[in-house]
């Protein structure tokens, strides 16, 4: 049976739980319980702090884990990245006080930088031939320049709001991150098989994100024009209607082009258009 490590609480917890639920895996998280048995998939769920997940997976305490790629990169442990999950998207950036006249990475030469990601930062400085003093601090990195602890910071940025609030300006985007599924290297055959099943479920959920199932009625003689407008799956589904000159067309359309497509379909005579959420697309 697989054991998966997930973040007990924090930014990744909610979307991780939602991904498991969508994959038909129910987890009843008992308060203060470190581990629970999943329902709907033979799996145990281990709740950890995100910082501890790469190590737990590396040691085989958990076979797989869901954690930010930033934590995996920082820990520099040889675990296998199985799949990117498309949430928890952020970057780790260097930032300096707004008023600084920034001249490129050399600006950091001899300067102090506060961060919770010293290894990733060290690699960046090394690649750029910069010698800077890296100060590792656990939290509230963004206030370090204000209180005189550092000249700049290297921290996670998402909207950029936190930097602005603290009078800082993002100057180098060093590392891009999102939640990833990682696994212990060299899982045995049984566990590998279970993991492939899990990945198959995750993949179909990720692939269906932003997709809508669209049904419409269409005069048969405009069908070719309508099909020419529609991208996507191998061919649209066309069903006969009681009224002879009409048919019903079913297609999958991506959210971001939904309205544009619908407007054009109306021009070629589509009527009674229904847009339905698409839960899963199994390829």
Strand-strand pairing, 43-48 and 2-7: parallel
User: How far apart, in whole angstroms, are the C-alpha atoms of residue 111 and residue 133?
Assistant: 6
Among 6, 46, 62, 88, binds ligand PRT (CB under 6 A): 88
Interface with ligand PRT in residues 253-282 (CB under 6 A): none
- Rounded to a whole number of angstroms, the minimum distance from the CB of residue 71 to Zn ion is 7
Is residue 65 at the binding interface for ligand PRT, with CB under 6 A as the rule? no
CB atoms within 10 A of CB 257: 13
**Residue whose CB is nearest to ligand PRT in the complex, by number:** 68
Looking at beta carbons only, is 93 or 208 nearer to ligand PRT? 93
| Residue (of 109, 281, 106, 126) closest to 208 by Cα position | 281
**65 close to 53: Cβ distance less than 8 angstroms:** yes
- Rounded to a whole number of angstroms, the minimum distance from the CB of residue 165 to ligand PRT is 8
Is residue 68 at the binding interface for ligand PRT, with CB under 6 A as the rule? yes
Choose the contact partner of 66 out of ligand PRT, Zn ion, none; CB within 5 to 8 A by kind. none
Chain-centre distance of CA 166, in angstroms? 27
- Rounded to a whole number of angstroms, the minimum distance from the CB of residue 51 to Zn ion is 4
Strand-strand pairing, 179-183 and 80-84: antiparallel
Give the 3-state secondary structure of residue 210: coil
- Rounded to a whole number of angstroms, the minimum distance from the CB of residue 16 to ligand PRT is 10
Is residue 161 at the binding interface for ligand PRT, with CB under 6 A as the rule? yes
Alpha helices in the chain (DSSP H): 13-22, 53-59, 69-75, 118-127, 161-165, 189-208, 223-229, 258-267
Is residue 177 at the binding interface for ligand PRT, with CB under 6 A as the rule? yes
Among 27, 50, 73, 214, binds ligand PRT (CB under 6 A): 50
Looking at beta carbons only, is 131 or 158 nearer to Zn ion? 158
CB atoms within 10 A of CB 81: 12
DSSP one-letter code for 262:
H
Looking at beta carbons only, is 48 or 183 nearer to ligand PRT? 48
Is residue 173 at the binding interface for ligand PRT, with CB under 6 A as the rule? no
- Rounded to a whole number of angstroms, the minimum distance from the CB of residue 192 to Zn ion is 29
φ, ψ for residue 222, nearest 5 deg: -105, 5
Is residue 84 at the binding interface for ligand PRT, with CB under 6 A as the rule? no
User: How far apart, in whole angstroms, are the C-alpha atoms of residue 29 and residue 8?
Assistant: 9
Find the part of the chain contacting ligand PRT (CB under 6 A) among 7-15, 39-47, 123-131, 195-203: 7-15
User: How far apart, in whole angstroms, are the C-alpha atoms of residue 1 and residue 206?
Assistant: 24
- Rounded to a whole number of angstroms, the minimum distance from the CB of residue 144 to ligand PRT is 12
Strands (E), 51-165: 64-68, 80-84, 90-97, 112-115, 133-136, 152-157
Is residue 155 at the binding interface for ligand PRT, with CB under 6 A as the rule? yes
Looking at beta carbons only, is 7 or 184 nearer to ligand PRT? 7
Residues that bind ligand PRT (CB under 6 A): 7, 10-12, 49-51, 68, 70-71, 88, 90, 155-162, 177
């Amino acid at each position: 049976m697989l054991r998966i490590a997930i973040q007990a609480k924090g930014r990744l917890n909610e979307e991780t739980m939602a991904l498991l639920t969508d994959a038909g895996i129910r987890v009843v998280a008992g308060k203060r319980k470190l581990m629970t048995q999943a329902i709907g998939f033979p799996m145990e769920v281990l709740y950890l702090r995100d910082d501890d997940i790469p190590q737990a997976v590396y040691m085989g305490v958990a076979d797989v884990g869901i954690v930010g790629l930033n934590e995996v990169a920082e820990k520099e442990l040889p675990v296998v990245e199985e799949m990117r999950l498309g949430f928890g998207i952020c970057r780790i950036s260097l930032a300096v006080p707004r008023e600084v006249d920034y001249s490129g990475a050399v600006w950091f030469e001899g300067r102090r930088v506060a961060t919770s990601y010293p290894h990733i930062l060290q690699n960046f400085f090394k690649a750029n031939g910069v010698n800077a003093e890296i100060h590792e601090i656990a939290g509230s990195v963004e206030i370090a320049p204000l209180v005189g602890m550092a000249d700049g910071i290297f921290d996670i940025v998402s909207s950029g709001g936190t930097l602005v609030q603290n009078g800082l300006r993002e100057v180098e985007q060093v590392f891009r991150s999102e939640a990833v599924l990682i696994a212990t290297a060299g899982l045995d055959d049984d566990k590998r098989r279970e993991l492939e099943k899990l990945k198959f479920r995750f993949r179909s959920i990720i692939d269906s994100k932003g997709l809508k199932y669209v049904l419409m009625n269409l005069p048969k003689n405009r069908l070719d024009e309508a099909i020419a407008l529609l991208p996507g799956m191998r061919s649209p589904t066309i069903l006969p209607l009681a009224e002879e000159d009409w048919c019903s067309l079913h297609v999958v359309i991506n959210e971001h082009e939904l309205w544009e497509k619908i407007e054009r379909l109306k021009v070629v005579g589509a009527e009674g258009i229904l847009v339905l959420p698409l839960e899963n697309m199994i390829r």
